Structure 1
Amino acid sequence: MTMPKQQTTPRAPAAAGAGPAAGVRLGDVAVRFRSKKRDVTALSDVSLDVAPGEFVAIVGPSGCGKSTLLKLVAGLLTASSGDVLLGGERVTGPRHDIGYVFQRAALLEWRSALRNILLQAEIRRMEPAVARARADELIRMTGLGGFEDAYPHELSGGMQQRVALCRALLHEPPVLLMDEPFGALDALTREQMNTELNRIWRTTGTTVLLVTHSISEAVYLADRVVVMSPRPGTVTEIIEVGLPAERDYSETLGRPEFRAAAAHIRDLLGAVSGHD
């Protein structure tokens, strides 16, 4: 089955005050590791262009290098060959301007939700008044109002991830990297977080790269889905989803574009029908 090529839906302008989004480019990137026993090629000949403000999801089998790809963009790893650019600039070391959300919220247990969010401001030495205003805006945006003074053990898993998302977005990063951020959540909470993330992305206009094992999550959230091969990871195909930017969850899952894209990705991954 061959998916028809479709134009990516143009993004709505970012909200007032939001930082400018940045594009990401990987050109013929390879990553090789050497150990005492053997050499391992994690990524091979990976090329990808992500437009400013675009939402791109990355799926593939375990161990194919999805998280490695995010670390390259963040400057936490150096490519063995090829080029990695963010906003037109070559990535040569850790990028402190990006946002990064991991599978676990990694909140400090002795700090309230608000103070966990503002930890970002302390590290970056942001102007306190500006940081607090931005934190208040994000708290409203993510539905955390009334929980500012709650500690992590008083928050559900989904609310902890909302705090982590607020923390990552506090400095208005041009690119947000998300590494399986909702994988530990129950199915209903994960759906709610998907809906929230879609709304936040449309509001902020930030460029997003999401790694996920969930095909439905990838198709629901993204403009395009990058399907990767088993190790050494390379790009098997890039699927244009063709859905409007604003997406009602249940309605979107019933759309023919959603079903066609999800089915094609399952075919590419060799997934058993009915499994995510």
Structure 2
Amino acid sequence: MPAPAAVPAVRVDGVAVRFRTKKKDVTALREVSLDIAAGEFVAIVGPSGCGKSTLLKLVAGLLAPSSGDVLLGGERVRGPRRDIGYVFQRAALLDWRSARRNILLQAEMRKIPGERARARADELIRMTGLDGFEDAYPHELSGGMQQRVALCRALLHEPPVLLMDEPFGALDALTREQMNVELNRIWRETGTTVILVTHSIAEAAYLADRVVVMSPRPGAVTEIVDVGLPAERAYAATLASPEFRAATGRIRELLGAVSAHD
């Protein structure tokens, strides 16, 4: 008999989100369906206001769908989930806490035993290249280093799913490239399932196994583009590869088509 299919790490099944403003009813998402395998890296791109961040909030349990279901590891999401990590565009660090103590805030909130939390924090600090900056305060860190601290904080409890909402959008171009390379390496080392929302087509294609292209509001999946690159990706070589050029070309074509239609 054939082996049973693996349960997706994330399943979005026929999800719609509708809400009412003072003037009208608005549909943010319509009939969105998506399966993400354990350990997969999926990026989501689309026009502003198409519901990309809304989709992340559904997976995190911060927002309930108007119809359809969201499942994590086969379990229906019914409210805020403690088994995910979340990284936002702004690092949102506490100014009065050092980098290490900002990371360990996650442990305090989740009641993770101190010794275990400190060992995990040390591992993540090494992994993200923050050695020597553990005791620095946020104002002493660059924007890229602040985002590394935020990433460590999100990964401290070893979540099976990491959600990232435009985490590098406020960084300069060079720092953003460096963070892309770091994120690729960290993803490979941790095996975490990652869902990244980004407005950068190049970032999406460099980092992801698949790129979900969404339509203008009401957001729906226009197409899912398979990038076709190995997990380990040297930055310059990847950007010059035919697979990368084909993926970014197709994504641009799709976004251009939906923009023209809109």
Number of aligned residues: 251
Paired residues of 1:103 and 1:183 also in contact (CA < 8 A) = yes
Structure 1 residues 206 and 60: CA distance shift in structure 2, 3 A: same
Q: CA deviation at 1:263?
A: 0.6
Q: State the one-letter code of the partner of 2:120.
A: R
Correspondence for 2:15? 29
Task: Please point out which of 163, 171, 178 is paired with 2:149.
Answer: 163
Where 2:205 maps in the other structure, the secondary structure is helix
Q: Residues 1-276 of structure 1: matches in 2 within 5 Å?
A: 23-270=9-256
Equivalent-residue separation in structure 2 for 1:207 and 1:187 (angstroms): 25
Aligned equivalents of 2:136, 2:123: Cα separation in 1? 17
Do the aligned residues in 1 keep the contact of 2:8 with 2:35 (CA within 8 Å)? Answer: no
Identify which of structures 1 and 2 has the higher relative contact order when contacts are C-alpha pairs closer than 8 Å and 6+ apart. 1
Structure 1 residues 253-274: Cα deviation after superposition (integer angstroms, max 9, x where no partner): 0000000100110010018xxx
Deviation, structure 1 residue 96: 1.0
For 2:29 and 2:97, the matched residues in 1 are separated by 38
Displacement, 1:22?
Answer: 6.7
**Segments ≥4 residues shifted beyond 3 Å:** none
CA distance in 2, matches of 1:46, 1:206: 23
Matched residue type, 1:231: R
- In structure 2, give the amino acid aligned to 1:148: E
Point out the structure with the larger helix share.
Answer: 2
Give the superposition deviation at 1:193.
Answer: 0.2
Q: Tell me, what secondary structure is at the counterpart of 2:236?
A: helix
Q: CA RMSD in A?
A: 1.0
Q: Shift in Å at residue 239 of structure 1?
A: 0.4
Q: Cα deviation per residue 1:31-76 (whole Å; 9 max; x = unaligned)?
A: 0011221100000000000000000000000000000000000000
The question of whether the paired residues in 2 share the 8 Å contact of 1:22 and 1:207 is answered with: no
Q: Which runs of 5+ in 2 are unaligned?
A: 1-6, 258-262
Give the 3 Å change call, closer, same or farther, for CA 22–100 of structure 1 in structure 2: farther
TM-score, normalisation: structure 2: 0.95
The alignment-based identity, stated in percent, is 83
**Contact 1:84 / 1:90 at 8 angstroms: preserved in 2?**
yes
